[in-house]
A and B are shown apart, each in its own frame.
Chain A
């Protein structure tokens, strides 16, 4: 235990004092500060634009022979509050020319009571459709009012009938998946990147110890299991320190600098409930331990950092698969699909799956506890396994063995240990 603590302390301090580590942390914090200023900057630029635009209100030309000019102007003005509506008698060619030279933003030529021509300079993919809907609704309205009038219902009454709206509100008894969707997505991305990043940090550190042969000394001072536990815990705490620094900065900076200038939609995305953040940290740690034990153990077979990728690729594939399951489930079947439920109890997928479920849906507390328990047990078991692999790996130089060979070596070692113990 004493050794684990000593290795842990050393690894943590080495990590935290590492230049690359400090630089990444600083860059991340700087980026976050910068990003939290962005809404403010964008807003002020947008405001500047508005001020310039007051002199020139865009013009929409409406020409019609079938509807009353006054009605046309009123109705379209209602639909386009920020535009000037010009009801015109000009013929179509003149209107087209004026749209082309930007006198009119766009023009609507109503030929018939229920048909019109939309004249625009550039037919953009998204905005036009919206315009067509608005124009269609406006004309429909005009048509209906005039029809009602024929039936003897006054324009005022008919408008009342037509504009009657159903009021509604949604009561969500659980969690609002639509609202949590983006925020969860962001947290899962962070979880994914953090686990992979710190896991690789462990791998790198194992390989460099072996490469520099510092391992030759270490292995004679402490048990391999203690070495890898200390290393994984140390790097994990270093990772946690970095994460807390970064999230702390974001919370403070978003709160202090830009809370006023951020639109509510964005606020919803970046404001996570405290509980979710705590769960994110818990599942980060669990996922980190599970994966970094395996990655660290496998990296011990690498004599050079070139061998590293080949060795840890099975674990990486597993991890990417777990990530895919979560992402696809969120987008396709929702987080409460059978696949997600099953996966939230499988050690490899549990950290991200259970987190997604906790964040986006309602999960019974006992389910969370079971999942965490399963993960804790696997962390312990993977730790022991990692220790056993580590013991073989760190003294093996040359070409790294294939996965099957590793299993064979483990079995042989287990038998030898048993033999040695039985003799004692």
Chain B
């Protein structure tokens, strides 16, 4: 199954919120939706959910216009919301029914998910009596109860302790391997890198970067090398002396005194540098191309325009 947004634009009155957004997501893959606050992520999600109509553009599933009554979508909004004064089982079943499940199926699914998230004991408790993290898990149950084909998660990890975060990771991985389309919006880049093969960065309503994370990273010049060695200071001096014409800068990291970062004039000098080091008698722990982190990429693409 493929979810495809093509040329989606949306204005709120005079304000242009989305401009020509195009992206696609496939079954069994997770896509990270990145963007600064107010960039248009939530609006994009709401258009997928059918809360808003797009002013122009199309939204298709496998090339056909999306029919929301046939597709099961699970959505976890960033603003968590359920009924605090209602019993957990009651509201979970209600929401699943609204998503099109029969009452019986909803009740079964409710039991199954509470069990899966080890929340069974709270089934007949009011939501407000639970801790924040546990409320979060109930929210996750509400999202996944309808056995969704498309899962949209907006900051799912906020407020979870490490153990619960692990549990959530497992659940998300299960959903992905189970063939769901997962759209994942977060500001915690480590989670994005962990789950998502591809990302789309939205800035001020436009997609500024899109593609597989590995491809994106590869597209950056591979001219920044990190070397770790217990003799970092000496090694730096050695490299500067041996390759003075090929190196722009070489510095020992301020925090980690055993790491050197070298900026080459050209990525092609990389192998020569490796040879020089191996020919010398320095004790080397590691040698690698310093890829830009997702964080750096994100900042680079979103900083300018705002």
Within 8 A of A (CB), among B16-71: 46, 49-51, 53-56
CB atoms of A420 and B98 under 8 A apart? no
Residue of A nearest to B143 (CB): A217
CB atoms of B98 and A7 under 8 A apart? yes
Instruction: Assess whether B157 is interfacial by the CB under 8 Å rule.
Output: no
Q: Across the interface, which residues of B come within 8 angstroms of A216, CB to CB? A: 77, 79-81
Alpha-carbon separation in the docked complex, A420 to B9 (Å): 11
CB atoms of A14 and B99 under 8 A apart? no
CB atoms of A412 and B51 under 8 A apart? no
Alpha-carbon separation in the docked complex, A31 to B46 (Å): 50
Alpha-carbon separation in the docked complex, A395 to B79 (Å): 11
CB atoms of B13 and A412 under 8 A apart? yes
Q: Across the interface, which residues of A come within 8 angstroms of B86, CB to CB? A: 14
Q: Across the interface, which residues of B come within 8 angstroms of A222, CB to CB? A: 98
SS of B interface (majority): loop
Residue of A nearest to B93 (CB): A10
CB atoms of B83 and A212 under 8 A apart? yes
Which of A10, A215, A221, A416 has the most CB atoms of chain B within a 10 A radius of its CB?
A: A221
CB atoms of B97 and A214 under 8 A apart? no
Which of A3, A212, A219 has the most CB atoms of chain B within a 10 A radius of its CB?
A: A212
Per-residue CB contact flags for chain B residues 137-151 toward chain A (1 = under 8 Å, else 0) read: 000001000000000
CB atoms of B55 and A213 under 8 A apart? no
Alpha-carbon separation in the docked complex, A73 to B61 (Å): 106
Shortest beta-carbon distance, B153 to chain A, in Å? 13
CB atoms of B51 and A217 under 8 A apart? no
CB atoms of A217 and B55 under 8 A apart? no
Alpha-carbon separation in the docked complex, A185 to B83 (Å): 40
Q: Across the interface, which residues of A come within 8 angstroms of B81, CB to CB? A: 212-217
A221 with B99: in contact, given A212-B82, A212-B84, A216-B77 (CB under 8 Å)?
yes
CB atoms of B80 and A213 under 8 A apart? yes
Q: Which of A6, A215, A395, A420 contacts B54 (CB 8 A)?
A: A420
Q: Which of A217, A412, A417, A423 contacts B82 (CB 8 A)?
A: A217
Instruction: Assess whether B191 is interfacial by the CB under 8 Å rule.
Output: no
CB atoms of B83 and A220 under 8 A apart? no
Per-residue CB contact flags for chain A residues 405-416 toward chain B (1 = under 8 Å, else 0) read: 000000010001
Within 8 A of B (CB), among A137-176: none
Residue of B nearest to A7 (CB): B98
Interface residues on B, range: 20 to 34
Which of B46, B79, B99 has the most CB atoms of chain A within a 10 A radius of its CB?
A: B79
Residue of A nearest to B86 (CB): A14
Shortest beta-carbon distance, A16 to chain B, in Å? 13
Instruction: Assess whether B94 is interfacial by the CB under 8 Å rule.
Output: yes
SS of A interface (majority): helix
Shortest beta-carbon distance, A224 to chain B, in Å? 9
CB atoms of B51 and A395 under 8 A apart? yes
Shortest beta-carbon distance, A303 to chain B, in Å? 12
Q: Across the interface, which residues of B come within 8 angstroms of A282, CB to CB? A: none
Q: Across the interface, which residues of B come within 8 angstroms of A215, CB to CB? A: 81
Within 8 A of A (CB), among B218-246: none
Total A-B residue contacts, Cβ distance less than 8 Å: 55
Within 8 A of B (CB), among A206-233: 209, 212-222
Alpha-carbon separation in the docked complex, A221 to B84 (Å): 19
Instruction: Assess whether A419 is interfacial by the CB under 8 Å rule.
Output: yes
A420 with B53: in contact, given A6-B94, A213-B80, A215-B81 (CB under 8 Å)?
yes
Residue of B nearest to A417 (CB): B53
Q: Which of A3, A10, A217, A419 contacts B77 (CB 8 A)?
A: A217
Alpha-carbon separation in the docked complex, A209 to B82 (Å): 8
Instruction: Assess whether B95 is interfacial by the CB under 8 Å rule.
Output: yes
Within 8 A of A (CB), among B109-168: 142
CB atoms of B79 and A213 under 8 A apart? yes
Instruction: Assess whether B75 is interfacial by the CB under 8 Å rule.
Output: yes
Shortest beta-carbon distance, A285 to chain B, in Å? 25
Which of A3, A6, A215 has the most CB atoms of chain B within a 10 A radius of its CB?
A: A6
Q: Across the interface, which residues of B come within 8 angstroms of A217, CB to CB? A: 75, 77, 81-82, 95, 142
Shortest beta-carbon distance, B253 to chain A, in Å? 44
Alpha-carbon separation in the docked complex, A20 to B143 (Å): 30
Shortest beta-carbon distance, B204 to chain A, in Å? 20
A6 with B98: in contact, given A213-B79, A220-B51 (CB under 8 Å)?
yes
CB atoms of B82 and A219 under 8 A apart? no
A220 with B56: in contact, given A6-B98, A10-B94 (CB under 8 Å)?
no
Q: Across the interface, which residues of B come within 8 angstroms of A7, CB to CB? A: 98
CB atoms of B83 and A213 under 8 A apart? no
Alpha-carbon separation in the docked complex, A402 to B51 (Å): 24
CB atoms of B56 and A423 under 8 A apart? yes
Shortest beta-carbon distance, B101 to chain A, in Å? 10
CB atoms of B98 and A221 under 8 A apart? yes
Q: Across the interface, which residues of B come within 8 angstroms of A417, CB to CB? A: 53
Shortest beta-carbon distance, A66 to chain B, in Å? 83
CB atoms of A221 and B95 under 8 A apart? yes
CB atoms of B97 and A6 under 8 A apart? yes
Alpha-carbon separation in the docked complex, A76 to B81 (Å): 82
Q: Across the interface, which residues of B come within 8 angstroms of A10, CB to CB? A: 94
Q: Across the interface, which residues of B come within 8 angstroms of A209, CB to CB? A: 83
Per-residue CB contact flags for chain A residues 4-22 toward chain B (1 = under 8 Å, else 0) read: 0011001000100000000
A→B interface (CB under 8 Å): 3, 6-7, 10, 14, 209, 212-222, 395, 412, 416-417, 419-420, 423
Known contacts A214-B81, A220-B46, then 6 further A-B pairs from the complex at CB < 8 Å, ordered by chain A residue: A6-B98, A209-B83, A218-B98, A219-B51, A395-B46, A420-B55
5 chain-A/chain-B pairs, Cβ below 8 angstroms: A6-B94, A213-B81, A217-B75, A217-B81, A420-B55
